[in-house]
Amino acid sequence: MTWKKPDTFIIESHPFDSFIKHDTKFLIVGTFPTHKENYAQTFEYFYAGQKNNFWKIVEQVFSHTFKFDSGIAAIKERQNLLSEKKIGLTDMLVKCYRKNNQSSDEYLYPIILKDIFSLLDEYPLIERIILTSRTEVIGALGLFKTYFLQHNLELNGFNKREDKILESSFNYNGKTIDVLVPYSPSPRVLEGGRTSFDDLIKMYVTCLK
């Protein structure tokens, strides 16, 4: 019988504050940051993994080139662009177990979910939520649905549009909030052949403009 090394589970709290301003219109919601080793050479912020395509997509969407790729300067530069475009960032997991020091969503086990409704109360100009992974149960979409179920609510069914974006909406405080789910900017999506980088850009243009 071959001995198998036991799984390890480490409790982690989200390392970054949500980035949302008083005039934010578009709220991008992910799952949880990658393992620290994956952004050790870049910057400590959302989507900072060296292989993650998120910030490359943002550059293309807004015809913008970031000058800095590491340190505080890189964070400030990205925050400035987000503020200008009325975009906010947060993640669904506030605290979770990380299994075996892995970064993929399937290795993250929820402990505390982000209180999305409190964010909508605090920032009432938010009109669209963009979820950056569509995996059921464990991804941003699955956790978003779980959050609604915990509040005895259910999202409208998600429709898959011709551009492959998943689309839904819900009513909150008398206002309709749109929910769009493009493909994930994770490198695994491109490596798996589910979409192309050009199509990812088109999806995010639709979601953020």
The rounded percent of the chain whose pLDDT value lies above 70 is 100
Residue 101 CB coordination number (10 Å): 11
Dihedral of alpha carbons 187, 163, 170, 177, sign: positive
Helix/strand/coil percentages in the chain, nearest 5 = 30, 25, 45
177-198 residue pLDDT tens: 999 999 999 988 888 788 999 9
pLDDT at 1 over 70: no
Q: What is the predicted pLDDT for the residue at 208?
A: 97
Does 98 map to a domain? no
Q: Is residue 108 part of a domain?
A: no
Q: Is the pLDDT of residue 74 over 80?
A: yes
Whether 41 maps to a domain, the answer reads yes
Task: Print the domain residue range for 155.
Answer: 24-93+113-208
What whole-number distance in Å separates Cα of residue 170 and Cα of residue 27?
Answer: 15
Q: The CATH number of the domain where 175 resides is what?
A: 3.40.470.10
Find the mean pLDDT for residues 63-87: 97
Q: Has residue 175 been placed in a domain?
A: yes
Residue 70 reports pLDDT greater than 70: yes
Total number of domains constituting the chain:
1
Look at residue 1 and tell me if it is in a domain.
Answer: no
Q: What rounded mean pLDDT belongs to the chain?
A: 94
pLDDT band, residue 39 (cuts 50/70/90): confident
pLDDT (average), residues 150-166: 93
Q: Which residue has the higher pLDDT, 41 or 200?
A: 200
164-191 CB burial, b ≥16 within 10 A, e <16: ebbbbeeeeeeeebebbbbbbbbeebbe
What confidence tens digit (pLDDT) does each residue in 112-148 have? 999 999 999 999 999 999 999 999 999 999 999 999 9
Query: Is 148 among the domain residues?
Result: yes
User: What's the pTM?
Assistant: 0.95
Q: Which amino acid, 17?
A: D
Residue 42 domain flag: yes
Summarize the confidence of residues 9-28 as an average pLDDT.
97
Q: Is residue 103 part of a domain?
A: no
